[in-house]
Amino acid sequence: MRAPSAARTEFAEHGLEGARVDRIAGAAGVNKERIYGHFGNKEQLFEAVLSAALTEAAELKPAAGLTDPAAYAAATFDFHRSNPHLIRLLMWESLQRQRISPEAAARRTRFYTEAAQRLVPPGIDDETARFVLYGILALATWAQALPIAGSMVFGGAPDPQDLRERIANAAAALVEPRQ
């Protein structure tokens, strides 16, 4: 069924509230009753699409096994630059949903906990590790999520390679010991 791909495109472009199952069905070449029969309602379809996109990101993103914060930030930057749909889906989720399923929350928490633990040197507490991860993710995704704000901060659109390098350096600085 091509519905998940069509749904990903539709949700990334229009969000949960603006997406139309009839457009998804048309793009997928199926009738919308088949989509509802397979996924339930539009909210469940959105959850399935977002879950699949997050799983794909975890499997495909080379940053998944990295322990170096600079390399993790650079790989995350590269992944999201090549796959802008995931950031858009996550932004729509934040704008249009009040909560996510407990199962989805548990999966994401596990993923982020493991990433945070990999990225900080031994002896850093769990809470600080989570803040470091959050900072790295913010640095690595901001340019794709809010390009207009980024161009205002930098006085124009920054060179992507230069920005990538600076983000990696800033991520490394998050875990450098203070003197």
CATH class for the domain made up of 1-42 = mainly alpha
Per-residue pLDDT band for 120 (boundaries 50, 70, 90) equals: confident
Cβ atoms of 45 and 39 within 8 Å: the answer is yes
Alpha helix (H) residue ranges in the chain: 3-18, 21-28, 32-39, 42-60, 69-82, 84-96, 102-119, 126-145, 147-154, 160-175
| pTM for this predicted structure | 0.85
pLDDT beyond 70 at 35: yes
Model pLDDT, residue 64: 64
Q: What angle do CA 103, 87, 63 make, to 5 degrees?
A: 80
pLDDT beyond 70 at 171: yes
Q: Average pLDDT, stretch 149-175? A: 92
Cβ atoms of 16 and 38 within 8 Å: the answer is no
Per-residue pLDDT band for 123 (boundaries 50, 70, 90) equals: confident
Q: Average pLDDT, stretch 164-178? A: 88
Per-residue pLDDT band for 179 (boundaries 50, 70, 90) equals: low
Q: Average pLDDT, stretch 29-47? A: 92
pLDDT beyond 90 at 166: yes
The closest alpha carbon to 31, from 10, 9, 2, belongs to 2
Model pLDDT, residue 57: 85
Q: Average pLDDT, stretch 165-178? A: 88
Cα distance between residue 118 and residue 140, in whole Å? 17
Model pLDDT, residue 99: 85
Give CATH 1.10.10.60 domain extents, the chain: 1-42
Report pLDDT digits (tens) over 135-146.
999 999 998 899
Q: Average pLDDT, stretch 100-128? A: 89
Report pLDDT digits (tens) over 67-90.
889 999 999 999 999 999 999 999
